[in-house]
Structure 1
Amino acid sequence: MKKAITLAMAMAVLAGCTTLDPYSREEKTAQATKGAGIGAVTGALLGAAVDHHDRGRGALVGALVGGAVGGGIGHYMDQQEMALRQRLDGTGVGIERVGDDIRLVMPGNITFETGSAQLDSGFYAVLDDVALVLNEFDKTAVGVNGFTDNTGSFELNQNLSEQRATSVARYLVSRGVAQGRISTQGYGPRYPVASNDTAAGRSQNRRVEVFIRGSAG
């Protein structure tokens, strides 16, 4: 009973409260809080197991330590997400949170000339801002993935998606992002996000996604 009460107290300390997202105006629980909660539970169980003389005390100490570790990467990515949203507001680039990772969705119509892997010069400033944030938060891995619609041959689309991913990656490297952090992949017409039966849908499917993966390192 004592152990259960102590664990509940530890979770109450770490859980915090929901905050109002300044962009969507919706209540949300920060990823750091979620990570801290998971770490707290794990730490509490380990602490109770290690401290045989006072399991309650061991659980509390373990929860606090585990929560700090678990919340670290979540907090880091929370801060990076906020910086990206501030810099990319109004650019047309979508920002999605996937657990402790961040996905940037760059529509093809604002990123490249039609049927080309040549970056549109009007998009340079957007990528400059992305690079600034990536350089500030440099403890992440960056995956650049290219996608097309299904117009034309599969081989043509596959090659174009690879070339577009490479173009974005090279530009980021030219702005100081370490090449060793970046990987590229082309998926051609695979993984559409909309129907290819309409012009609007095909436009959505032509995109580059930059996937920023959190690291504990």
Structure 2
Amino acid sequence: MKKLKLKSLTIGALSLTILMGSCNSLKKLTREQKGAVVGAAGGAAAGAAIGAKSKNPAVYAIVGSAIGGVAGGIIGKYMDNQAKDLEEEIGEIAEIERIEEGIKVTMGSGILFDFDSYQLSANSINNIGELAQVLDDYESTDILIAGHTDNVGSDNYNQNLSEKRAAAVADLLVSKGVQRNRLVVRGYGEDSPAYSNETELGQDKNRRVELAIVANDDLKKEASKEADAMAFGSK
């Protein structure tokens, strides 16, 4: 079984400026990933911080969604449990990373799809079914599903392929019981490489689907209430 990776990525380290009071959701994410911050809102995947084109949208979604403090720690424990369950179910085919108050799941397209295809393989259908079960068990989360490609081929072709691959994963999750309103589905084409496209290995790793799992509004409210109760009880 793969070892769970733990990361602590601070807003300062990512040179983000959180603009409190913004009311856009991840549905506002553009292909260019322009802008600095998308704040909390109702609906799926609320709250994100978006960097330049070279930055990873899943990481920025997680960091931008964090509320910090004691409440953030409570959410972190919820995410710790979910990450462990994800590792048990899909750790052999996916990279599970705990980042701040969220989870990033990375699945290589070679595991999910045939080359140059957006049709899910038989094995990947079973694996995504296991992923769906964990997501359903932890229903107090919203999820960004982000498709990525390498830079081989035209920009438009890669953009369309990334969108179709992300949509294929989202559609299967929904068919397995995950509520559609928890999902935001985006394709980023070749614009957000995780590795250099100068090598075949790098290109292979850039062909991927990533999930950013963050607390929804209800979980944030519950965590804030629990944190307030703890503070009041300590007085």
TM above 0.5: yes
- State the secondary structure of the residue aligned to 1:167: helix
Residues 126-184 of structure 1: CA deviation (Å, up to 9, x unaligned): 10111000000000001100000000100000000001000000000000000000010
Amino acid corresponding to residue 153 of structure 2 in structure 1 = G
Confirm or deny that 1:199 pairs with 2:200. yes
Shift of 1:71: 3.1
Equivalent of 1:77, from 79, 82, 106?
79
Check the 8 A contact 2:108/2:208 in 1, yes or no: yes
1: CA distance, partners of 2:73 / 2:209? 30
The share of aligned pairs that are identical, in percent, is 38
Q: Which has the higher contact order (CA 8 A, sep 6+)?
A: 2
> What pairs up with 1:35-50 in 2 under 5 angstroms?
none
Higher helix share: 1
Amino acid corresponding to residue 73 of structure 2 in structure 1 = G
| TM-score normalized with structure 1 length | 0.68
Confirm or deny that 1:128 pairs with 2:138. no
Amino acid corresponding to residue 201 of structure 1 in structure 2 = G
2: CA distance, partners of 1:202 / 1:108? 11
| TM-score normalized with structure 2 length | 0.63
Residues 39-96 of structure 1: CA deviation (Å, up to 9, x unaligned): xxxxxxxxxxxxxxxxxxxxxxxxxxx84x44321111111111111112322x1111
2: CA distance, partners of 1:184 / 1:139? 18
Q: For structure 1, list consecutive stretches of 5 or more residues without a partner in the other structure.
A: 1-21, 31-65
Amino acid corresponding to residue 141 of structure 1 in structure 2 = D
Q: For structure 2, list consecutive stretches of 5 or more residues without a partner in the other structure.
A: 9-68, 222-235
Pair member with larger Rg: 1
Confirm or deny that 1:94 pairs with 2:95. yes
Match of 1:148 in 2: 149
1: CA distance, partners of 2:4 / 2:143? 28
Amino acid corresponding to residue 71 of structure 1 in structure 2 = G
Question: How many residues are paired up?
Answer: 158
2: CA distance, partners of 1:167 / 1:25? 26
Amino acid corresponding to residue 199 of structure 2 in structure 1 = T
> What pairs up with 1:1-217 in 2 under 5 angstroms?
24=3, 67=70, 69-91=71-93, 93-215=94-216, 216-217=220-221
- State the secondary structure of the residue aligned to 2:107: strand
2: CA distance, partners of 1:137 / 1:150? 35
Amino acid corresponding to residue 187 of structure 1 in structure 2 = Y
